[in-house]
Structure 1
Amino acid sequence: MTHTEAAAALENAKFDRRQDLRHEESADDGGRGEAEFAEWERITQLLAATGGAYDPGADAVVQDELAVEAAAAEAREAEQLRLQQLADRADEIERLVQEDVLAGTEPREGDEAARHEIARRSGWQTPDAVDGWLAHALAAHLGHYADPAARTVAADLLPAEVSVHAALLSALAHLAPAADVEILEFAARLAQAGPHATAQLAELLAQAVAAEAGASGDRGDSRCATSQVPDHLGGT
């Protein structure tokens, strides 16, 4: 398109805009007429300054719009991939629950979101096996929970009941290291029945563990339960 052709198109846009303004039903077009007129005006001015034929590849405005559209498309594809991976992981966890082998696996980054997806699918009733698995892994620092930063993030991503369950298990592991896992099932029931009271109990036990370790001079691996209690539930 040359400058002459663009100028002619601009005149047509001017005419259409005037016609639209005369008809109330056409004037309310969401600003399409004004936008079309402004675009032809911009292109006409661009060609007047550069000369020659119009080249979209040399039009900075068009290229910026294409770049924005490409970035938006890439973001949509990335989000679709994330959602598919999340669904696949939720499927895998549900399969492990059905096969009764979930307890033998370690969680990995993103499993908090997978738990949320499982809860959504089941009407927000997460299987006890999933919550118990995450709580035990959080307390024992298994999988990605070996990273303190991951444990901190988990306290915000997981329901309070799961975090409190983990905190209580962590404290009990120091006080009764030989306790069987089945015996400790009461920890989950306490966390579900009264998360705030259970958080206070976990913190009290953690303080007792820390005091005992300090008295004995034990500077080994100390997994403080209070670090896994959500801030709004902590405190005595």
Structure 2
Amino acid sequence: MDAGAVAAALEDARFDARQNSRFEDLADDVRGRAELAEWERIEQLLAAAPAGTLYDPDTDPVVRTELEADAAAAAAREADLRDAARIAARADELQALRDLGTLDQAEPAEGDEAVRDELTRRAGGYVLADVDAWLAHALATHRGHYHAPAAREEAAGLLTPPILAHAALLTELARLVPGAHADELAFAARLATAEPEAAGALAAFLTRAHPDR
């Protein structure tokens, strides 16, 4: 578009704005005001450009920025959808293992903290004790994804206080009694669930029994 065409479009937008202002139901026409502001911006853009410059939206920095923002938002939505699908599929997998009673055989994977939240949501907010215990044991024994220190550190901000307290207590109890069977340590889950702060304090106290740490 040349400057003349832009000027004509601007005048049309101004005319529409004046007409709308006469009617109460159109006085707050947000779209019309935005269109008018955009034509005013384009007119100013051409006024600052060399004479004879044509307006091209492909070279308009504002338009390009908006298109890039739209593309980034679309990509983010696609990523969210893929992540949601992955979480749902993993939740189905862990749910099936729970039903079979073989959840403890599963290796924790990246993102299982979000999967735990999804399973809890599916259960209507009910805390799934076996899932929480599975995560606590995996965290305490550095199993699967939790073999990496960075993953364990990240989990500290994603898992609930009872799970973290349970894991910390299991870690210290295993140091005190190496080879203790999981059934012997079932009390740790009950303590962490009922009194997570007390369980965490106990784990910290037991840590003092290992000055080499």
TM-score (norm 2): 0.89
Query: d(CA) in 1 for partners of 2:133 and 2:189?
Result: 7
Taking only aligned residues, the RMSD between alpha carbons, in angstroms, comes to 2.0
CA distance in 1 between partners of 2:2 and 2:179 (Å): 86
Q: Does 1:18 align with 2:18?
A: yes
Q: How does 1:87-236 map to 2 (within 5 A)?
A: 87-208=88-209, 210-211=210-211, 214=212
Is 1:191–1:198's contact at 8 Å kept on the other side of the alignment?
yes
| 4+ long deviations beyond 6 Å | none
Contact 1:115 1:126 in 2 (8 A): no
Structure 1 residue runs of 5 or longer lacking an equivalent are 215-221, 223-236
Larger deviation: 147-156 or 162-171?
147-156
| Cα drift, residue 137 of structure 1 | 0.8
Q: CA deviation at 1:163?
A: 1.0
Identity among equivalent pairs (%):
53
Q: What corresponds to 1:231 in structure 2?
A: none
Aligned residues: 211
Residue 8 (structure 2) aligns with: 8
* CA distance in 2 between partners of 1:155 and 1:11 (Å): 60
Distance 1:197 1:45, change over 3 A: closer
Q: Tell me, what secondary structure is at the counterpart of 2:208?
A: helix
Query: Take 2:148 and 2:182, find their aligned partners in 1: how far apart are those partners?
Result: 23
Q: Tell me the secondary structure at the aligned position of residue 72 of structure 1.
A: helix
Q: What is the deviation of 1:198?
A: 1.8
Question: CA shift at 1:122, angstroms?
Answer: 0.5
1:27 corresponding residue in structure 2: 27
Higher relative contact order at CA 8 Å, sep ≥6: structure 1 or structure 2? 1
- Give the TM-score, by structure 1 length: 0.81
User: Shift of residue 22 of structure 1?
Assistant: 2.9
Question: Deviation at 1:38?
Answer: 2.1
- Residues 54-81 of structure 1, C-alpha deviation per residue, up to 9 Å, x if partnerless? 4322222222211111111111111111
Give the Å deviation of 1:125: 1.7
Between the aligned partners of 1:33 and 1:127, the Cα distance in structure 2 is: 53
Q: How far 1:4 sits from its partner (Å)?
A: 2.4
Could you tell me whether the CA contact under 8 Å between 1:135 and 1:163 is conserved in 2? yes
Which residue pairs with 1:83 in the alignment? 84
